[in-house]
Amino acid sequence: MENYSISPIIEPKDGISFDLLLTNVDKSTLEIITCPICLNLVWNIIDCGHCGSLFCKHCIDEAIKSNNSCPVCRHVPFETTQSKTIRKIIDKYKLKCPNNSCKENPEYSEYISHQEKCKFRKYRCNNEGCDFEASLIDKENMEAHTKKCQYRNIICQYCNKTLKEIDFVNHLNNECSKIVECDDCHQKMTTSEFLGKHDAVSCLKNQLDYYKNKINDEQTESFKKEIDKMKTEINDLKKENFDLKKQNIILSNEKEKLKEEINKLSLNKKRKRTKD
């Protein structure tokens, strides 16, 4: 969708500025064609049917809302008439086109129709806050502008917030809440903190802390493995010791049995000798 539009026709409700009038008129005529309310060249002429004063339609419509009387002669009620002669004269007045670059000088009667087809009529950028304009013959310039307009809406690639491009830097430095991680020091922080406070010195300090902690963690892990290994060895030794104790008990029992057998044999020998 095009993000620009053609400017509206300039409808001179409160008369036409005399700065745009190119036709020379004498003083008496100037007084006649001046709206006594807005003091500009009359537009959409309404004339008082009582005194003949000329008014802009918009001016007189507003003036008689509260008091339906002629602002000049005070006649009540305000009545209009049609002065075709003065209209024919005014219709031939030459005017400057309101589009500055236009060199054509339309007649009073063609003032609106000329604007509708004027090639210097403006395109306006529709982005809020932007006042860029380009004439109809410079459409490519307008199209190029809308693609890079600082007031166009963009989406922050970090937090997905919609904002105007002109506010993007401030958003990154002060508002963006996306959590990012520094590739060098591995610290996690918001985008605004990363861009605003994370300078080279703090990054280096964080790197030292990171690798110091990493080494400590690795050493701790190594110590844990050694301790686990020692525990396993101790448990194995305990098991061996238990087995040895068990064997020792068995051997002790066998030793006692042997002693008893020896004692019996010895006693039997003595008895035999005694009989003999």
State pLDDT tens for residues 27-66.
889 999 999 999 999 999 999 999 999 999 999 999 999 8
Q: Which amino acid is at 125?
A: C
* Over residues 9-20, mean pLDDT: 90
Tell me 107's DSSP state.
B
Whole-number pLDDT of residue 220: 60
Pairing of strands 54-56, 122-125: unpaired
Pairwise CA distance, residues 50 & 66, whole Å: 19
Binned at pLDDT 50, 70 and 90, residue 275 comes out as low
Tokens of 228: 């686990």
| pLDDT at position 95 | 96
pLDDT at 110 over 70: yes
The structure tokens 């605004």 sit at 192
Query: Would the pTM of this model clear 0.75, i.e. be above it?
Result: no
Contact 4, 124 (CB under 8 A): yes
d(CA 115, CA 10): 8
Encode pLDDT of 178-201 as tens digits: 777 777 777 777 777 776 667 777
CB–CB of 139/123 below 8 Å?
Answer: yes
Q: Do β-strands 188-190 and 179-181 pair in parallel, antiparallel, or remain unpaired?
A: antiparallel
Share of the chain above pLDDT 70, in %: 93
- The tokens describing 254, both together, are 């066998």
pLDDT score of 276: 61
Domain ranges of the chain: 7-119
Per-residue pLDDT, 108:
96
The continuous run of DSSP H or E covering 205 comes out as: helix 200-275
CATH, domain 7-119, list 3.30.1330.80, 3.30.40.10, 3.40.1000.10, 3.40.50.720: 3.30.40.10
The count of C-alpha atoms lying within 13 angstroms of the C-alpha of 125, restricted to the half-sphere facing its C-beta, is 22
Q: What is the pLDDT of residue 157?
A: 85
